Structure 1
Amino acid sequence: MRKLLPLGLVSLLAFPAHAAEQGIELAVTVKAPVAEVWKAWTTSQGISSFFAPEALVEARPDGAFHIIIDPYAPSGLQGADDMKVLAVEQERMLSFTWNAPPHLPQARQQRTVVVLRFAPQGETTQLTLSHLGWGSGGEWPKARAYFEKAWPNVLKQLQTRFETGKPQDWTAWREQLKQWHASEAAKPKP
């Protein structure tokens, strides 16, 4: 008599190991309890304390995850200004959509996925970031290279926010953006 494999095992055998997603994987230890690190990622005020000067975050499936890096840019070019929360597991996991920066318009039309995992370690938190869903042609390699540099900076800003006990002051950043936009507006148009 022939023995049948369980359906789950058959599914696993049908896909070769090399088909695994090649994501950006980072992990940091944050000197704060998991509840505080969770709040930093899941509230508008928390995001503006380390990540960007403005945000709209609704930590629920299909909720807004709008990260406004350049509030003076036109709508749609302000940062991750139209992203959505995908899944939430209180103080354990948050996932959301993400897009490429404005200087990569073809890749920006697509969405990738970021998954954050929070693990309490006493009075500190182990935070793991996985950024998945990368294409391979066109602007995708440039988008991936951009985030391979950007995400470590974001995570460092998160660590600094808790090490100093102070939220990020965005005053100088806003002033630089205002000046840049004013200079761009003053340039003659072809």
Structure 2
Amino acid sequence: MRPIVALLLLVLASVAGAQQRSIDKEVLVAAPIGEVWKAWTTRDGIVSFMAPDAEIEARVGGAFHVHFDPLAAPGMKGADDMRYMALQAPTLLSFDWNAPPHLPQVRAQRTFVVVRLKEVDAASTRVTLHHTGWGEGGEWDQAHAYFDRAWGAVLTNLKKRFDSGPVDWSDWMARLRKMHEQPAATPAARP
């Protein structure tokens, strides 16, 4: 009997170790599924809830470049050079994703996001987001914690977009302009 229990524990431990951590978020949006689909697959849609600028080409392999800082240098604007991995209108889209610029080691890697839309009724849609592909330790842990917060905010903004209108990025852009106008720190003088 003991060998069977030991084998069972070994199998359970290996299955548990094989599971990847993920971020899973969900929101109910007061909009028809087609409108929510457009929010995720058009430039105007992305700008209405996610970021002040974007380059969107809704096709498999097409651009899903989401610019949280449109004033930054190329490659530092946010989700630069991301692409759609799958589009199954109007119920599923997937894209690769990178970490923010302040986490350069994991920014060079990619994770993957799957967004599912489910019509609840003619006027509401359930949106679920699943983000996976995480490494372990160091910047990976920081990136995971960052996106656990960030995706919640993104889905809250998506809900607000349909409840009260698109995000107004004016204050955000004013802060970015001020930040970019500040002179870069000069290196300390050498003796």
Question: What TM-score comes out, normalization by structure 1 length?
Answer: 0.88
1:139 alignment counterpart? 139
Using the TM superposition, give the Cα deviation of residue 186 of structure 1 relative to its aligned residue in structure 2, in angstroms. 5.0
Say whether residues 1:79 and 2:48 are aligned partners. no
Q: State the distance in 2 between where 1:56 and 1:38 align.
A: 16
Looking at structure 1, the residues matched to 26 and 170 of structure 2 have their Cα atoms a distance apart, in angstroms, of 29
Unaligned runs of 5+ in 1: 1-12
Residue 124 of structure 2 aligns to which amino acid in structure 1?
A: T
Equivalent-residue separation in structure 2 for 1:67 and 1:153 (angstroms): 15
The count of residues paired between Structure 1 and Structure 2 equals 175
2:7: which partner in 1?
Answer: none
Task: Give the C-alpha shift of residue 48 in structure 1.
Answer: 0.2
CA drift at 1:77: 0.7
Which stretches in structure 2 are left out of the alignment for 5+ residues? 1-10
2:186 corresponds to which residue? Answer: 188
Match of 1:90 in 2: 89
Residue 101 of structure 1 corresponds to 100
| TM-score computed with the length of structure 2 as normaliser | 0.88
Q: Equivalent pairs: percent with the same residue? A: 49
Q: Residues 22-171 of structure 1: matches in 2 within 5 Å?
A: 22-122=21-121, 123-164=123-164, 166-171=165-170
Partner SS, residue 128 of structure 1: strand
Q: Which residue of 2 aligns with 1:8?
A: none
Q: State the 1:188 CA deviation.
A: 2.6
SS in 2 for 1:47: helix
Mapped to 2, the partners of 1:189 and 1:152 lie a distance apart of 38
- How far apart are 1:137 and its partner, in Å? 2.6
